């Protein structure tokens, strides 16, 4: 079987048709992933024992004549900020280089219960802070499409494995764009569901009010299948909504006639010309499919980056306080007193970006500055959410770019944090509003660099988002073959 082009359906067909066993497929997928990994450094850890045990369960179910589940035998990778029992989970941090979690994240339990096979854990920016994957303590990931470029971040490894074909699906996490932006940079599909759609239990906290788990896939349908499996209420996460989970794949009808789409004028101002051209071409394609497109305004957009980098750092400074050398992490060995031990452990363990954010977050929460920064940012967050609510009173979905530019060169922005933060300008608004948003491939630049189109819908309306993305994907494929 050709591992790098597998889909969920193809794996299912192979297993049910007895072309191969789940064990054979898993062994081959692991071999392929281990051989190819040095090209991108996307996997940090492989877990062959866990993978083979999961495959054996699938084969046993098949032998009993049972349905082995919607993800049966499908090779999946998991971002290394999502905990896996007995399998090292580093969060891309030197502090957690040896950390072995005692439990599984809910999303991990669910995907294995659906027959999915976890091959390993993927590289990412330290504690998911970054837009290029260059903040990982274990070294950067290379973009499989252009190895001298970044895969995007922070879920760079999860995007790269799917683009490279060393996994069929992967889980990433998105706080301000970390699923959509790497999906766009690597030419695949990435989905940030509604806040509360997927349990965060077992997702290492970065900015809890913004953190999401979501899927990467090579097709909209595969992404929808994975999201379906991991969605839904979880008693372990009080912010996880008790809302019915529709059958997303059933809505991939290809029919989007009459859907009303909004194109935010504010988002068209900051684009490089090639990205802008591809997005506008994509919009024309959507019109050809029968969608009605109108310009809309999201006026609070200009404050989004400032707002996000206050709220996210404030929450991060609190969440990261737990890594103190007593719990979870390695401990500095040469300290005379307790407070020296805290200081040395954190000083030696955290990378520069985490330290920058801890300081910024502590500052905006401190007495005297709280009202001026944190409280103000919370008010702006409400305005941003309101912008979307107003838009959705008129349109069914918003279409937009994902990133102002395609994948940039490794090292290009690493010394300029503010330029790096600007990569997130179009993704942060959806995260702050908590609405579902995704990136779907929208063509390549002349140099062959992928550009993604972003689709955003109302809270819990993933169905319309997938329907539109599925129709767009089909029309992209037809365009390419003609």
Residues that bind ligand GLN (CB under 6 A): 128-131, 154, 174-178, 206, 312, 424
Helix/strand/coil (H, E, C) string of 280-320? HHHHHHHHHCCCEEEEECCHHHHHHHHHHHHHHHHHHHHHH
Percent of residues in the chain assigned helix, strand, coil, to nearest 5: 45, 15, 40
What is the rounded CA–CA span in Å between residue 25 and residue 48? 12
Please give the structure tokens belonging to residue 24. Answer: 């054979």
- Say whether 178 is catalytic: yes
By C-beta, is 129 or 283 nearer to ligand GLN? 129
The count of other CB atoms within 10 Å of the CB of residue 347 is 11
Cβ distance to ligand GLN smaller for residue 26 or 155: 155
Please say which residue, 130 or 165, places its beta carbon nearer to ligand GLN.
130
Q: How many residues can be counted in the chain? A: 482
Which of residues 101 and 172 has its CB atom nearest to ligand GLN in the complex? 172
Min CB(268)–ligand GLN separation in Å:
21
Q: How far is the CB of 277 from ligand GLN (least distance, A)?
A: 25
Q: In what order do the strands lie in the sheet with 450-456?
A: 43-46, 117-122, 75-79, 169-174, 212-217, 189-192, 437-444, 450-456, 397-401, 260-264, 292-296
Give the nearest distance from C-beta 352 to ligand GLN in angstroms: 13
> Considering beta carbons, is residue 106 or 423 the nearer one to ligand GLN?
423
User: Alpha carbon 106 to chain centroid distance?
Assistant: 16
- Helix residue ranges per DSSP H, 187-258: 220-230
Q: Which of 21, 93, 154, 431 is catalytic?
A: 154
> Which residue carries 């309306």 as its tokens?
461
Asked about 136 being catalytic, the answer comes back as no
Task: Give dist(CA 46, CA 48) in Å, integer.
Answer: 6
Measured from the CB of residue 128, what is the shortest distance to ligand GLN in angstroms? Answer: 4
Cβ 178 to ligand GLN shortest distance, Å: 3
Min dist. Cβ of residue 308 to ligand GLN (A): 7
* Contact residues for 319 (Cβ-Cβ < 8 A; gap 6+): 205, 206, 207, 208
User: Is 422 in contact with 406 (CB distance < 8 Å)?
Assistant: no
Using the minimum distance from each CB to ligand GLN, give the nearer residue, 30 or 137: 137
Catalytic residue among 178, 184, 199, 439: 178
Q: Let me know: does 353 contact 130? Beta carbons within 8 Å.
A: yes
Among residues 106 and 178, whose Cβ is nearest to ligand GLN?
178
Minimum CB–partner distance for residue 182 and ligand GLN (Å): 9
H or E stretch at 24:
helix 22-36
Neighbours of 330 (CB within 10 A): 17
Q: How far is CA 461 from CA 9, 188, 344, 399, in A?
A: 25, 21, 47, 14
Residue 25 burial class via C-beta count within 10 angstroms: exposed 0-12, middle 13-18, buried 19 and up: buried
- Residue 69 or 153: the one with the smaller Cβ distance to ligand GLN is 153
Residue whose beta carbon is closest to ligand GLN = 178
**154 is known as an active-site residue:** yes
Q: Which of 173/249 has CB closer to ligand GLN?
A: 173
Residue ranges with strand state E in 52-168? 75-79, 117-122
Which of 224, 225, 223, 243 shows the shortest CA–CA distance to 233? 243
For residue 407, the SS3 value is coil
Catalytic residues: 79, 154, 178
């Amino acid at each position: 079987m050709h591992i790098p082009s597998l889909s969920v359906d193809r794996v299912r067909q192979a297993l049910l048709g007895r072309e191969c066993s789940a064990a054979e497929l898993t062994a081959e997928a692991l071999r392929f992933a281990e051989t190819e990994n040095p090209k991108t450094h996307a996997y940090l850890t492989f877990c062959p024992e866990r993978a083979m045990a999961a495959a054996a369960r699938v084969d046993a179910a098949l032998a009993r004549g049972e349905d082995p589940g919607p993800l049966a035998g499908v090779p999946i990778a998991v971002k290394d900020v999502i905990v896996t029992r007995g399998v090292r989970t580093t969060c891309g941090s030197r502090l957690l280089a040896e950390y072995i979690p005692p439990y599984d994240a809910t999303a991990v339990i669910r995907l294995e219960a659906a027959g999915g096979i976890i091959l390993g854990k993927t590289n990412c920016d330290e504690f998911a802070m970054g837009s290029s994957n260059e903040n990982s303590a274990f070294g950067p990931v290379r973009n499989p499409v252009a190895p001298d470029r970044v895969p995007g971040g922070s879920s760079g490894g999860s995007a790269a494995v799917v683009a490279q074909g060393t996994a069929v699906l992967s889980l990433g996490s998105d706080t301000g764009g970390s699923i959509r932006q790497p999906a766009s940079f690597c030419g695949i599909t990435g989905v940030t569901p509604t806040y509360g759609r997927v349990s965060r239990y077992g997702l290492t906290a970065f900015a809890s009010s913004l953190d999401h788990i979501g899927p990467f896939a090579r097709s909209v349908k595969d992404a929808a299948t994975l999201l379906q499996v991991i969605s839904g209420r979880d008693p372990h996460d009080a912010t996880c909504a008790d809302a019915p989970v529709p059958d997303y794949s059933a809505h991939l009808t290809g029919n989007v006639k009459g859907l009303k789409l909004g194109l935010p004028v504010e988002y068209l101002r900051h684009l490089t010309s090639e990205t802008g051209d591809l997005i506008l071409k994509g919009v024309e394609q959507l019109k050809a499919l029968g969608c009605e497109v109108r310009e809309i305004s999201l006026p609070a957009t200009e404050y989004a980056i400032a707002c996000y980098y206050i709220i996210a750092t404030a929450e991060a400074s609190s969440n990261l306080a737990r890594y103190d050398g007593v719990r979870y992490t390695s401990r500095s060995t040469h300290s005379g007193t307790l407070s020296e031990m805290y200081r040395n452990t954190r000083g030696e363990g955290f990378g520069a970006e985490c330290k920058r954010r801890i300081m910024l977050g502590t500052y905006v929460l401190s007495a005297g500055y709280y009202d001026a920064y944190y409280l103000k940012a919370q008010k702006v967050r409400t305005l941003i959410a309101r912008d979307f609510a107003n838009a959705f009173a008129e349109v069914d979905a918003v279409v937009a770019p994902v990133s102002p530019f395609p994948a940039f060169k490794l090292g290009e922005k690493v010394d300029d944090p503010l330029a790096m933060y600007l990569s997130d300008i179009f993704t942060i608004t959806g995260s702050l509003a908590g609405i579902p948003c995704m990136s779907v491939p929208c063509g390549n630049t002349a140099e062959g660099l992928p550009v993604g189109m972003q689709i955003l819908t109302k809270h819990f309306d993933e169905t319309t988002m997938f329907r539109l993305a599925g129709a767009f994907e089909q029309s992209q494929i037809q365009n390419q073959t003609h």
